[in-house]
Amino acid sequence: MARTRILCVLAAALLVAVALSITIGAKAVPLTDAWQALTAPTGSENDIIIRSLRVPRTILGVLAGIALGVAGALMQGHTRNPLADPGLLGVTQGAAFLMVSSIIFLGVSNLYAYIWFGLAGALIASVGVFALGMVGGRGGPTPVTLALAGTAVSAFLYALTSAIVLLDEQAMDVFRFWQAGSIAARSADVVWQIVPFIAAGLILALVNAPGLNALSLGEDVARSLGQDVNRTRAVGVAAVTLLTGASVAACGALAFVGLIVPHLARHLSGTDHRWLLPYSGLIGAALLLVADVIGRVVAPPGELEVGVVLALLGAPFFIALVRRRKPVRL
C-alpha cells in the first residue's frame, strides 16, 4: 500500500537524521566509532561525547519533533485553520510564565525544576483557555472561542513574563535561552522526565484521529455521524497540551515546527488524520534534527540554537509554500 510505503520512507529519513545528529558536531565522530560507543563503550573521548551529549540531544530532538509535528497537525485539524500552531492554546506562554516566576519568586535554580514548572504552566494555561473557550461557546468550546481565548491568555501571560524578566537578571538569562529554543545541553534525566507526557499525548492523538476525520466535515456532520464533538475536542486539547507542554518545557519555544510540518505531511497523506498524524510526527522529528545539525556546523566554533535555525530556514520555506499553492482550506 502506497501509504505504508511512505511511512517507511519517512521512518528511514528519520534514521538518517538520527545518524547525522549523532556523528556530526564540533567533533565529528565516524559512524563506526559512534556505533561502538553505543554498543561497546571503552570510555574514550568519543564515547563520552556520544553517550553523554549527542545521544540525549538526539533523543530529545526526536521526542520534541514528533510531539510538535503531531500537535501541529491536531491543532490545525481541530481549528480547521491552516495557520494554527501548537502554541495557540497559550501553552508556550504558560510554560514561560511559570518558569520565570519559579526563578524569581521561589529561587529555583536547577534545570529540572524549571522543566516541571514549565510543564505545569503549560497545563494550567491550556485548561484556562479551554474553560474560557467554553464560556464563550454555545454548549462547548468552538475553534473560534478557543483561538480568541488562547490569544488573550497568551498576550496576558507574555506581558507578565516580560515584566518579571525585566526585574531579574537571572530570570532574564534563563528566559532568553529558553525563548530561542534548543535541544543542546540537556542531560538524559531531562529526556526521561518528558517521555511519559509525550507518550500519553501520542496515545490520545491516535485515539483522536478518527474523530478528527469526522469533525473535519463540520460539527453538524460529525454529530450526525455519531461523534461526540465536545469530547473529541477535549481529547484533542489534552493531547496538544501534553505534547506541546512537554516539548516547550524541555526545549523552549519551538512551536514553529508545528506550523510547517503538517503542511508537508498533508502533501503526502491527504486529509486522513490517521495517516497525517504519524507522517507529521516523523517529518517533525527529522526536520528538527536536521536543523539542529545545521546549527552545529554553520557557525564554528559556536553553535546556533535549533529554534533560530528553524525560524531562519522555515520562514522562507513557508512563504514559498504559501506562494506556490493557494492556502489549503481545512
User: Whole-angstrom Cα distance, residue 123 to residue 241?
Assistant: 6
Q: Which three cell numbers stand for residue 61?
A: 530532538
From candidates 83, 137, 223, 264, binder to another protein by CB under 8 A:
223
- The CB-based long-range contact list for 131-140 (8 Å cut-off, 24+ gap) reads 139/230, 140/229, 140/230, 140/233
Q: Which three cell numbers stand for residue 245?
A: 507542554
Tell me the per-residue interface mask from 110 to 149 with another protein, x by CB under 8 A, - otherwise.
Answer: ----------------------------xx----------
Minimum separation from the CB atom of position 262 to another protein (A): 12
Q: Which of residues 55-94 bind another protein (CB under 8 A)?
A: 80
Minimum separation from the CB atom of position 118 to another protein (A): 31
Of 128, 126, 154, the residue nearest 241 (C-alpha): 126
218 binds another protein (CB under 8 A): yes
Q: Which three cell numbers stand for residue 95?
A: 510554560
Sign (positive or negative) of CA dihedral 132, 136, 137, 142: negative
Report the 10 Å Cβ neighbour count for 185: 12
Contact between residue 214 and residue 227 where contact means Cβ atoms under 8 Å apart: yes
Count residues binding another protein (CB under 8 A): 27
Dihedral, 115, 22, 68, 274 alpha carbons, nearest 10: -140
226 binds another protein (CB under 8 A): yes
Contact between residue 46 and residue 173 where contact means Cβ atoms under 8 Å apart: no
176 vs 274, which CB is nearer to another protein?
274
From candidates 19, 101, 116, 210, binder to another protein by CB under 8 A:
210
322 binds another protein (CB under 8 A): no
From candidates 26, 31, 271, 320, binder to another protein by CB under 8 A:
271
Of 40, 321, 315, 74, the residue nearest 215 (C-alpha): 74
Tell me the per-residue interface mask from 231 to 270 with another protein, x by CB under 8 A, - otherwise.
Answer: -----------------------------------x---x
| Piece of the chain touching another protein by CB under 8 A; list 16-24, 55-63, 219-227, 245-253 | 219-227
What are the DSSP calls for 118-163, one per residue? HHHHHHHHHHHHHHHHHHHSSSS--HHHHHHHHHHHHHHHHHHHHH
| Piece of the chain touching another protein by CB under 8 A; list 28-36, 56-64, 153-161, 224-232 | 224-232
272 binds another protein (CB under 8 A): yes
| Piece of the chain touching another protein by CB under 8 A; list 115-123, 207-215, 280-288, 314-322 | 207-215
131 vs 217, which CB is nearer to another protein?
217
Residues of this chain that bind another protein (CB under 8 A): 80, 138-139, 206-207, 210, 213-214, 216-218, 220-221, 223-228, 266, 270-272, 274, 328-330
